[in-house]
Amino acid sequence: MTSTYLPDKRSGPGVVAPPPAAAASRGRARRRALHWLTAVSFQLPALLLFGVLVLLPLLFAVYAAFFRWGGFGMPSDYVGVDNFTRLFQDPVFIGDLWRCLVLVVLSLALQLPFALAMAVLLNQRLRGRAVYRMLFFAPYVLSEAITGVLFSMLFAPDDGLADHLLSDIGLGGLGGKWFSDPSTVMATLFLVMMWKYFGFHMMLYLAGLQAIPAELTEAALIDGAGPWQRFRKVTLPLLAPTLRISAFLSVIGSIQLFDLVWVVTTGGPDHHSETMAVTMFQYGFKRYQVGYASAISVVMFGISLVFALAYQRFVLRRDLEGATTTMRGDGA
């Protein structure tokens, strides 16, 4: 493409003007560079915080897991994979894995269906349903420390409200154990977890239910579908993305469970309610075996990461593809 010669009537000699396409291209390049600079300037503080508060501690935990280290100074006693070998030979940690699996199964089999049933019930036209929603969601707002202290008092042996209620109805022989008996501690702890967290999942399901168009349910009703058929054929399939997200959050929460267990039982009696996070805290901050505790944290991170990637690949794949398609369609 040749340049255009334009005479300058004021000064006499002509000037060479750039082609219009080249000027437009340079303008687009400047705008693109400005957009990138704006995006980076907004994201840089968050990326710096993420790197300092998440990535660096994670990398250091992986590094410390290969040392026998008490937490003071820099790790120097290199032991290779001995911490990991010891980890998978430790009956307490093996029990942690088993208890984690039990909590996951109970959450998926009991907590989430109960939350879904309450969400379906409170999605109906009931008098005072806003109050019920608030009451059921309120436990989730409470901190884990307050919840732990509350239920420690509620299930206190002999003097707790639960034992008094059982005595009043003639079932006093069932009380007195709760958190102090290895055979009942996990069941009681799960009841506390269910009370604490089911309201969160219920609100997720309520949001999903309210996003379902009423016309679909009305059309199924006109076609003669009963309540169960409408729920199974219309509501449940359209609520499936919310159910999948809820199940994912429930499993990750069970793997990382710490504060509620620590406040209520501190892992007792005799390690029968310990989780991986509680065991990590015990070794890292009570026994000052930070290298071994770092190995536990690395295994916890590995389990969570593998589960998250597998869940995204095999369960959330359709949801993510739909979101990507929608975004691409909106940008077209």
What are the pLDDT digits (tens) for 92-151?
999 999 999 999 999 999 999 999 999 999 998 888 889 999 999 999 999 999 999 999
* Whole-prediction pTM: 0.83
pLDDT at residue 331, as a whole number: 44
Cα atoms found within 13 Å of the Cα of residue 310, Cβ hemisphere only:
8
Segment holding 77, helix H or strand E: strand 77-78
Share of the chain above pLDDT 70, in %: 88
pLDDT at residue 164, as a whole number: 79
3-state secondary structure of 21: helix
pLDDT surpassing 50 at residue 253: yes
Long-range Cβ contacts of 276-283 (<8 Å, 24+ apart): 276/93, 276/96, 276/97, 276/100, 276/300, 278/96, 279/92, 279/93, 279/96
Q: Which residues are registered as beta bridge partners of 68? A: 77
